[in-house]
Amino acid sequence: MRKLLFLFIFSVLSLTTFAHGGDFVTIDNVNIEETEFSYVYHFQFNNIKKRTLSDITIELIINGKPVQLIEVKSIDKTVPFIEREFTILKEGFDLENDIVQIEVTKIYGKRLHWGGWDSPNLTLKKRLALSRFRYKKDSDTLQKQSNTLFSESYADAPWRMKKTDNNGNLNSVPVHGFIHDADRIQGITLQVDYINIKIKNASDNSFGPPLKYNMLNDAAFKAMFSAKSPNDPQLEIQEFKPSSFISSTNYTMDFNESSDLFGDNFVEVDAPYWYFTFNIPPSDLAGYEDIIDIEFTFSFSNFTIGDEVIGLRVFRSDEDIPKLTDWYRGDTHLHSFFTQNSAEIGLPIESTIEAGRLIGLDWFTSTDHTSDYDNYGGGNVNTNWNKIQQIVKNLNLVNNDFKVIAGQEVATNNAQGDLVHMLAYPSFSDPFSLPFLSDGNGDLTSTSSTISNVVNLLENSDGFSYAAHPFATADKLPTVPVGGGIWNLGELTFPANGQDFPVTGGEIICNETNSTSDILSLNENEFIKNRIKGAQIWNVRNGRSTPSGSELDPWNVRGNSDPFDVEDTASYSHHVKKFRQGQEIVNHVNKLGLIQRNSNENLTNWKMYISAGADAHGSFNFTNTDDFGGFGDINTNAVGKLTTIVYSPNGLGADGEHVLESLYNGNSTLSDGPIATIGISDNGNDTESEILMGQDTIINTLTLNDYFFNINYVSTNEFGDFTEFRIIAGTEDGEIIKTLQLPNTNGSNYLSYSLQNILDSLFVGSTVPDEKYFYIRAELETYKDYSSNAAIHGTSYDIFHSFTNPIWIKLQEVLEVTEFELDAFPNPFKGDINLTIKNPTDQPVKINFYNDLGQLISSTLHTVNGIKTVVIPMTKLNLSAGMYTVRASVVTTDANGGTEELSDTEKIYKID
């Protein structure tokens, strides 16, 4: 998993003391002893929290350059301090003017500014100068955020995967190695000596020797690598060259492209990006249990840089992730390496596809921060946006079974002028039509964009959006440094800010009633702002977490770190609590939409859909995105932990256009494992649904017996047994919840009920709304017992969910679709034709005239609500004497824009 480092500008540190302590340690009692040839800096390393510390690195830095280091394997919690020293030769050293710093740069193997000591001559001016010195690029300034002080070394692997392929053969396990910002290492060029990969059963206590392939020929060995970084000067990507390494009797891969005077072999990495995926072959996995641990070691030739060791745990399953025919699982909110700021970095799209496919995804949307697009590739936002679109297009050409959609997470201002995020997607008619939408002004520069601006740009490009993590108390973006806020409902009929969510609890911060709504439109015929189709209210599955000190090995596969703890399900930062708070807002919006649509038949955009996405930044195995500057935690969120499953009977589309269409129309359900879907059959056939989630429909109460309510629900052993299935009806007065008794506890199941019976069960003791829209949605819950293997899973149980989008229904008595008669008698006649039309629908009526050969000679459309006399002048028809057939029919438009004549009636007229 990735390793994050952070730059702390020295100017913010106190100048009243030379020591600057961290949360865990300080460097104190520095005494300088002068000898004949040197100065000896004696110091005390204080364990102020009295915790057991391990893998500690203390560096001596002179004028901003690290020159020496001391490594301490561990300090027991009972030891309050240790004493150490650095020796500096007098030759070439100016005690009065040279700046000396003693910095604790690693604890638990994690590189951060843990604490240290500065020489007394480190003035504010010199602090700022040193902070500039830490960048190698002249183009970088103090106003430009960087996510690292040095470089980062990552390793990642899928958190879960299918153990075997469709033929029953073991799947390889892809392990992605990634070095980022090697160009920013101080004073040296990073030299990668070798990489070792070890595996073991999760139930075993220790790893064996590293995987080695010296018995293979070079071609067979190099064939194990994929997703290799190309030579891309525009994005400053350094090529991962197969010629730069060999197999070895000692290491998994031994780099030998360059060498030094001491005979050390290595490859120099001096670029922002260098990466590859190594696929552990099935031959090395034979005989292993389903759950395996991986130890990945970067070893460097540079003496000032210690090895980076990352621990991963992969859960392999004999079963696929739950699936349904014509339904495709994806992640609506993911970040690639086109996201890069002071706290967050993503991974390459091609490696994300490799991991995502094995995790069980069929697609994902790459939604990188628009505020980051000037952080790389020369800083030209449109060039970088065109670049990611081209990468996506090329990858979609070679991946028929997996599609990527290039979207954006737009940085924009809410009604209060605070920063919020908006997930923007392209038109489903052209997945590459989305322009760069806003805010390429840097991470700390406020945006001039507003939600209305983005909506207008989406309107012009036929795109659409979902509000990103918009309403929950814990989803507010941080005030420092980004001036973050939260989406504002701005609605008087929901409790205001400072009150508690009525059902879920927790303080409401998304309803400033004195401010304009970020969601609702001011247009009287438009309810939700145009081009906002929904809200991504399920974001980041943080089921287990661990303190930031365990950043490199939170699964504790190496046995020397703090393992994951179960996240408190009562906390309002827990992913289900955040979802429930967001759901309360969406339910309220949909309640208001019902009220307004039922009083205004011309109202548009009156339904709000929901979606789910992991919001992962790389993060195939676990995430440390929330660990910012040593604060926060690492959790089990990862790619595909939260998914949106779309209905797409025509497949994904060449570039995901069918996925986009389903997202646009809300034909989707949400899942963190199991799946629940609902639908309605309108033709008496209960085996297939014609009316889908996200759609609205008028149901004829006279033929209600022809309608069936269909349910699919799926789980596997991996995600546990069904514990609850709830059907919820939403009306103008609120929601009604009923629990359905399920006949099975696992597997793939299909149930079909008479819609009349479902409505009778839901509306017991109350009246089903008549000639008013209401909605039906569903929720599924499963329970997985880990009590026999709790130490490996990090918990004794887990609960998984699926949440459907609603179906909106209006019950209405529909008589004969059209009835008409001739008012003017006798027949034949010579004057105008008067037709009495009885139309109980709100659809237009088409009137056609046919001659005695059955040929259409006239067709007109008329608006008829109820009973109306339509006068058709004979002068317009220009008919000669003879027999004619007049036919009236109701015309409706389907979801795809096509028209259909529902039914008709006709009479024959004679004209003299």
Work out the percent of the chain whose per-residue pLDDT is above 70: 87
As to burial, measured by CB atoms within 10 angstroms (0-12 exposed, 13-18 middle, 19+ buried), residue 711 is: buried
Cα–Cα distance, 452 to 437 (Å, whole number): 12
Cα–Cα distance, 591 to 476 (Å, whole number): 24
What is the per-residue pLDDT for 21?
A: 62
What is the per-residue pLDDT for 625?
A: 67
Cα–Cα distance, 854 to 876 (Å, whole number): 20
Contact 607/534 with Cβ under 8 angstroms?
no
What is the per-residue pLDDT for 139?
A: 28
Q: In this model, does residue 647 exceed pLDDT 80?
A: yes
Q: What is the pLDDT of residues 137-161, one digit of tens each?
A: 322 222 222 233 456 788 999 999 9
b/e burial code for range 493-502 (CB count within 10 A of at least 16 → b):
ebeebeeebe
Q: Which helix (H) or strand (E) holds 861?
A: strand 856-862
Closest CA to 18 of 118, 168, 141, 143: 118
Lowest model confidence (mean pLDDT) among 17-21, 283-287, 520-524, 544-548: 17-21
Q: In this model, does residue 117 exceed pLDDT 60?
A: yes
Contact 8/629 with Cβ under 8 angstroms?
yes
- State how beta strands 643-647 and 773-785 pair: unpaired
Cα–Cα distance, 891 to 846 (Å, whole number): 7
Q: In this model, does residue 632 exceed pLDDT 70?
A: no
DSSP 838-850: EE-SSS-EEEEEE
Contact 271/238 with Cβ under 8 angstroms?
yes
Residue 718's CB is within 10 A of a number of other CB atoms, namely 21
Question: Could you tell me which residues are beta bridge partners of residue 40?
Answer: 33, 87
Residue 854: pLDDT band (50, 70, 90) is confident
DSSP 457-506: HHHHHT-EEEEES-S-GGGPPPSTTT-B-------TTSPPTTSBPTTT-S
Lowest model confidence (mean pLDDT) among 198-202, 653-657, 738-742, 823-827: 823-827
Lowest model confidence (mean pLDDT) among 290-299, 579-588, 726-735, 810-819: 810-819
Residue 828: asked if its preceding bond is cis (omega within 30°), the reply is yes
What is the per-residue pLDDT for 888?
A: 79
How many angstroms from the chain centroid is the CA of residue 449? 22
Question: Could you tell me which residues are beta bridge partners of residue 799?
Answer: 783
DSSP 671: E
Question: Could you tell me which residues are beta bridge partners of residue 870?
Answer: 835
Question: Could you tell me which residues are beta bridge partners of residue 98?
Answer: none
Work out the percent of the chain whose per-residue pLDDT is above 90: 65
Q: CA neighbours within 13 Å on the CB side: how many for 436? A: 21
Q: In this model, does residue 845 exceed pLDDT 90?
A: no
Q: CA neighbours within 13 Å on the CB side: how many for 767? A: 6
Q: Give whole-number Cα distances, 140 to 133, 604, 647, in Å.
A: 10, 48, 46
In sequence order, what E strands does 521-615 have?
Answer: 532-539, 544-547, 565-566, 609-613
Cα–Cα distance, 820 to 445 (Å, whole number): 67
What is the per-residue pLDDT for 850?
A: 82
Lowest model confidence (mean pLDDT) among 228-237, 539-548, 639-648, 754-763: 539-548
What is the per-residue pLDDT for 756?
A: 95
Q: What is the pLDDT of residues 751-764, one digit of tens each?
A: 999 999 999 999 99
| Torsional sign, CA 654, 655, 658, 661 | negative
Map 347-360 to HEC letters: ECHHHHHHHHHHHC
Lowest model confidence (mean pLDDT) among 40-44, 203-207, 303-307, 678-682: 303-307
Lowest model confidence (mean pLDDT) among 17-21, 118-122, 188-192, 218-222: 17-21
Closest CA to 809 of 893, 704, 725: 704
* Percent helix, percent strand, percent coil in the chain, to nearest 5: 15, 40, 45
| Residue 811, phi-psi category: left (phi > 0), alpha (psi -120 to 50), beta (remainder) | beta
Tokens representing 523?
């247009």
Q: Give whole-number Cα distances, 195 to 176, 283, 285, 593, in Å.
A: 12, 20, 19, 58
Closest CA to 806 of 595, 610, 575: 610
Tokens representing 386?
């065109």
Closest CA to 755 of 816, 807, 814: 807
SS3 of residue 125 by DSSP: helix
Map 270-316 to HEC letters: CCCEEEEEEEECHHHHCCCCCEEEEEEEEEECCCCCCCEEEEEEEEE
Tokens representing 101?
């710093």
Residue 824: pLDDT band (50, 70, 90) is very low
Map 755-802 to HEC letters: HHHHHHHHCCCCCCCCCCEEEEEEEEEEEEECHHHHHHHCCCEEEEEE
Q: What is the pLDDT of residues 194-203, one digit of tens each?
A: 999 999 999 9
The one-letter code for the residue type at 663 is: L
Cα–Cα distance, 237 to 435 (Å, whole number): 25
Q: What is the pLDDT of residues 341-367, one digit of tens each?
A: 766 789 999 999 999 999 999 999 999
Residue 624: pLDDT band (50, 70, 90) is confident
Question: Could you identify the residue written with the tokens 């990527």?
Answer: 404
Contact 332/241 with Cβ under 8 angstroms?
no
Could you give the angle at the alpha carbon of 662 between the alpha carbons of 657 and 668, nearest 5°? 140
Lowest model confidence (mean pLDDT) among 109-123, 352-366, 433-447, 605-619: 109-123
Cα–Cα distance, 506 to 580 (Å, whole number): 11
Cα–Cα distance, 304 to 706 (Å, whole number): 76
Lowest model confidence (mean pLDDT) among 347-351, 366-370, 878-882: 878-882
Highest mean pLDDT among 105-109, 789-793, 871-875: 789-793
Lowest model confidence (mean pLDDT) among 186-190, 509-513, 659-663, 794-798: 186-190
Contact 405/356 with Cβ under 8 angstroms?
no
What is the per-residue pLDDT for 22?
A: 66
Computed on alpha carbons and rounded to an integer, the radius of gyration of the chain in Å comes to 33
| Torsional sign, CA 323, 328, 332, 338 | positive
Residue 242's CB is within 10 A of a number of other CB atoms, namely 15
Residue 744's CB is within 10 A of a number of other CB atoms, namely 12
What is the per-residue pLDDT for 18?
A: 63
Q: In this model, does residue 288 exceed pLDDT 80?
A: yes
What is the per-residue pLDDT for 686?
A: 79
Contact 680/709 with Cβ under 8 angstroms?
yes
Q: In this model, does residue 13 exceed pLDDT 50?
A: no
pTM of the model: 0.78
Tokens representing 693?
């989630």
Cα–Cα distance, 21 to 37 (Å, whole number): 31
Tokens representing 75?
């300090």
CA max distance for the chain: 131
Contact 4/93 with Cβ under 8 angstroms?
no
What is the per-residue pLDDT for 482?
A: 73
Question: Could you identify the residue written with the tokens 């504002």?
Answer: 488
Q: In this model, does residue 225 exceed pLDDT 80?
A: yes
Tokens representing 309?
């060791």
Lowest model confidence (mean pLDDT) among 12-21, 201-210, 433-442: 12-21
As to burial, measured by CB atoms within 10 angstroms (0-12 exposed, 13-18 middle, 19+ buried), residue 566 is: middle
Question: Could you tell me which residues are beta bridge partners of residue 340?
Answer: 345
SS3 of residue 45 by DSSP: strand
Closest CA to 556 of 50, 108, 151: 108
Q: In this model, does residue 672 exceed pLDDT 80?
A: yes
Q: In this model, does residue 459 exceed pLDDT 70?
A: yes
* 349-359 and 381-398 helices, crossing angle to 10°: 40
What is the per-residue pLDDT for 15?
A: 29
Q: In this model, does residue 879 exceed pLDDT 70?
A: yes
Of the two residues 337 and 908, the one the predictor is more confident about is 337
DSSP 454: H
